[in-house]
Amino acid sequence: MAEEGGYTIENIYQGGYSSLDPNKAYFNSFTGYRANAGSLGITTDPRTANMIKDASAKLSSGVKEIELTLVSPELYDAIPKQQYKEMRELSKLTGVDVSVHGPVIDTAGISQQGYDELNREMAERRISEFLQRIRDVNPDGNIPVTFHSAEGISGSEWKTLGEPGKEREAKRLIAIDRESGKMTQLTTETIFHPDMRELKPEIQSRIKSGSMNPEEFHGMSEREKYNLIPLEKGKLQKAEDRLQSINHTTWDDQINQHLFNKERADEILQNNQIQIQHLIEDINKGNINPENGLTPTQRQAYDHWMNARSYLEDTRQHVELLFNKAYKYGDEENKRILSKVADQFRHQLGEDKTPMGQSKAIQTLINNLKNTPPEMFVPIEKFAIEQSSKTFGNSAFNAYEKIKDVNKTPMIVIENPPAGMGLSTGEDLRNLVIASRERFVERAKEKGMNESQAKKIAEQLIGATWDVGHINMLRKQGFGDKEIIKESEKIAPYVKHVHLSDNFGLEHTELPMGMGNVPLKEIMEKLGKPGFEAKKVIEASSWWQHMQTNPLKESLEGMGSPMYTSGGGPGWNQSLGFYQNYSSGYGMMLPSNNYQLWGAGFSQLPSELGGDIRGGQGSRMSGRGME
């Protein structure tokens, strides 16, 4: 750059890379994170069932790991079983490690029609069978097998992702009915009611801190506790509040459906209490045979009693079904309360066996159930974790039980799908891994295994695959580097495998690292110290598809991999200064094949512009024959 006569003359051509600064370069894709080439792997083409041919071609690039990408269940079943053993021989011959990406299937049993336990069990059988079949690739080690945490499930959309001690907040919550499996969307919205109030900030603060007990709260007047909200302002109702509301409303509706029969029985008993009571006493003493010998008055009282008892029995059956639901889907506190309720119900029935006593016991049970609504509707993430953890935990245990050697059992590594789908955040994936390990331990204890031993085995056989490109799609919901890095930190202790793909956070594209905006350096710093031992597999399907070249070189440049195994000397991000390529300069100027094909001068036009490729003998520069 020069200044002349008040003008600034910029460099017209910046040139290639300057090797003086290894971290900066013209048009450089270096992410700031350095990874040894030996820690990087590459995937096979998920569109072909001939994995031997595809793997052989890609191993020629010199990678030390190959990942068999068998994501399509249909293509996976089209692979002959002999190829797995051939792949084992190929890996021994070339000295490469092999990992596997298993079929992308619905592991939670949730479809557009809702939840189906039979679908979940089918997924479990698929995964268990896959682990047995894929073991032929490496029967003597913990071959990492990646499965998506969920497939085809829409995830909730988050306003905040939560900090330590603070739960995340949803903009759009996907809730599922545990009983029917039907899903519904709940959004944060402003509501308008004729009588809108909100707790005063000081009251809310005291309740939260625990300095106000329930007796003090209930003893205060409404004016002391609440502020009125102007109708035109409305009240903001969060998605989480709407979830709680729908649980309470649905539960009240289900209980109220069965109150008619109870009230009808009470009405009969109240109107005929004296006659019925005397009649029952005489029947119990044997003074009267209800089959015959009843007077018209006694017959009428007896019919009233039978009708009332029929209503009560029907009510009791339905209320006991509600009790089953409340206990089955209740939290630990609810279950503790319901256990006491059950004791009280049995005591009341035994203490007063008259119809009036039964009615009273049933009414007490109904009142108690109203105060303990279960979580019938739960966030899709919570429900999917409950179900998918059964699938992964059971599959891992089934594989271990058949092999009986923890060091030879395939390792399940659960991957986060693109952000926005179910179980895609670091928090969700962490909770799923923990729940899957707990399920493994439960199964192991049922078989008589020591709990501490079962936990160690579960930790070895169940972990996480962290896809850095998938979590980068949080940008689509308005998040940035801070949240993306934070989610990586949440899952870090459980990561055993890494998928490397870059994108711009809006679409599920897969580019070599350094060609999008994934904050790789900061993510890898959260996952582990430099030299993070987990294998890192390059997933760059978009590059394969559109550029139709191996993305390894661009990935090495993006991650500044050392050119020499000793670690000294330049890194691949400095290669731009050694030759002109896709990322630097104009490429080779006046290449020799131009003359070989078209001859010299400007009269020779390319064939697509009407010219002919020169033929004949001898030099195409001079046009003379060979001498």
* CA–CA–CA angle 334, 335, 337 (5° rounding): 65
Q: How do strand 197-199 and strand 189-191 relate by DSSP bridges?
A: unpaired
CA 408 to chain centre: 27
Rg (CA), the chain: 35
Is the CB of residue 172 less than 8 Å from the CB of residue 239? yes
Q: Which DSSP string do the residues of 554-586 spell out, in sequence order?
A: HHHHHTT-BSSTTS-S-BGGGGGGTS-BTTBSS
CA pair distance 475, 473, nearest whole angstrom: 5
The pLDDT value recorded for residue 179 is 86
- Indicate the pairing of strand 65-69 with strand 97-101: parallel
Strands (E), 109-182: 110-111, 114-115, 144-148, 157-160, 169-177
pTM, two decimals, is 0.80
The class level of CATH for 31-157+379-559 reads: alpha beta
The beta strand positions in 233-364, using DSSP E, are: 235-237
**Closest alpha carbon to 474 in 7, 35, 162:** 162
SS3 122: helix
Q: Is 62 exposed, middle or buried (0-12, 13-18, 19+ CB in 10 A)?
A: exposed
Q: At what angle do helices 355-370 and 332-351 cross, to 10 degrees?
A: 170
Output the pLDDT for position 25. 47
Give mean pLDDT in consecutive 10-residue pieces for the chain, a chain of 627 residues. 60 49 61 88 91 90 91 89 94 94 93 86 95 94 94 90 86 91 88 80 82 80 84 82 90 88 80 71 67 73 78 89 92 91 91 82 91 91 95 97 95 95 95 98 96 96 97 96 96 95 94 94 85 81 86 89 75 67 51 54 53 50 47
C-alpha distances (whole Å) from 551 to each of 34, 96, 537, 539 are 17, 18, 12, 9
pLDDT at 26: 44
In sequence order, what are the beta bridge partners of 65? 41, 97
